[in-house]
Amino acid sequence: MHGPDVQEMQILLIEKGFLTGEADGAFGKETEKAVKAFQKANGLKVDGLAGSKTLDKLYGISWEKQEPAEIKRDYAQVNNYGYFSGDYSVIDETTDRRRVRKLQQALIKLEYLKGEADGEYGTVTRKAVKDFQKAVKLKTDGIPGRLTLQALEQAYQKGEKKNDIQRALEKLPGETGRMNAPDKSSIELLYWFEDIKPRLRNGNRIRVYDPASSTAWDLQVYGLGRHCNCEPLTAEDTLIMLRAFGGKYTWNQKGVYVLLPDGRWTVGAIHDVPQGTGKIQGNSFDGYLGLHFMRKWDECAEKDPLYGISNQQTIRQLWKSLTGVYVR
């Protein structure tokens, strides 16, 4: 299979640590191996087929973050490509110099480490690892294990240098983007196809409010399909959004309140990863992102059974937290 549904599944497999590399939309051998690893870790039939039980588990909230020990040992066999070639075992003073050098080269490229890659895991390299862990919100212990190496691999592939995000966020005043939450009574349950899309136009401005961080940022409508593609309006909006997502790009969905151009507030779900090519110059965001709104469950399950349904779950959970009602 090829297409956006496969790509959306790959994104979650990457996000959950079962697949490395890019989400290319092609269901090949590596994707099949990743599906099998996910199935094994979650007590499902290990057949490599992304059926309804596997997809329900993958897109639900009950997937196992910690694989059993045997899955961790087999992980290198499941993922045999990527910067670390699927080997995410802990690196320390006893590790082969070639692996240490590989780690150091990535840290040097991303500007967490200066000098040459000498293959020695010493005090300086450990500090660089701690700096990276702190930047990506991992446990700051200086021990490059699976989570740290996977995060480093992704940052290396994207070229996310320390200067690119962290230093810019350090200069962003703490109160920038802060706003009071909209009155709960003003937030309506609006549906994308019926209530929102017919009244939107490319170039419209939308405000997003994140209740988790009490911050808001502005987006500009980029395109209208089965969800709304948008771009941060300014470089400051990009930084506010990144700060709300923990200072890094992530496909994790965030439930948000959305102020539409006509003054109505509603609920939605958003990520912060740039895709494709954007139109706005100078907003420090190389592409566009997806802003999802409420859709009828059966329609979404038929047309977007993977990432679309996952966003619908996020939206419905936010609406339930707001009103106590879960809409099916």
Could you write out the three-class secondary structure of 47-107?
A: CCCCCHHHHHHHHCCCCCCCCCHHHHHHHHHHCCCCCCCCCCCCCCCCCCHHHHHHHHHHH
Could you give the count of Cα atoms lying within 13 Å of 303 in the half-sphere of its Cβ? 10
What the block records as the tokens of 79 is 């993922």
The reply to whether 1-78 and 82-171 are identical in fold is yes
Cα(35)–Cα(40) distance, integer angstroms = 9
Q: What is the pLDDT of residues 126-138, one digit of tens each?
A: 999 998 888 777 8
| Sequence ranges of the domains in the chain | 1-78, 82-171, 184-323
Instruction: Please indicate whether residue 249 or residue 225 has the higher confidence score (pLDDT).
Output: 225
Helices (H), the chain: 4-15, 29-41, 52-59, 69-78, 97-109, 123-135, 146-158, 162-171, 235-244, 297-303, 307-323
pTM for this entry = 0.57
Topology (CATH level 3) of domain 184-323? Thrombin, subunit H (2.40.10)
Secondary-structure class of domain 82-171 per CATH: mainly alpha
User: Poorest-confidence range of 60-64, 249-253, 280-284, 315-319?
Assistant: 60-64
pLDDT value of residue 312: 95
pLDDT value of residue 163: 58
Q: What is the pLDDT of residues 28-86, one digit of tens each?
A: 888 999 999 999 988 899 999 988 788 878 876 444 443 333 333 333 333 334 688 77
Superfamily of the domain at 1-78: PGBD-like superfamily/PGBD (1.10.101.10)
**Cα distance from N-terminal residue to C-terminal residue, the chain:** 29
Helices (H), 172-325: 235-244, 297-303, 307-323
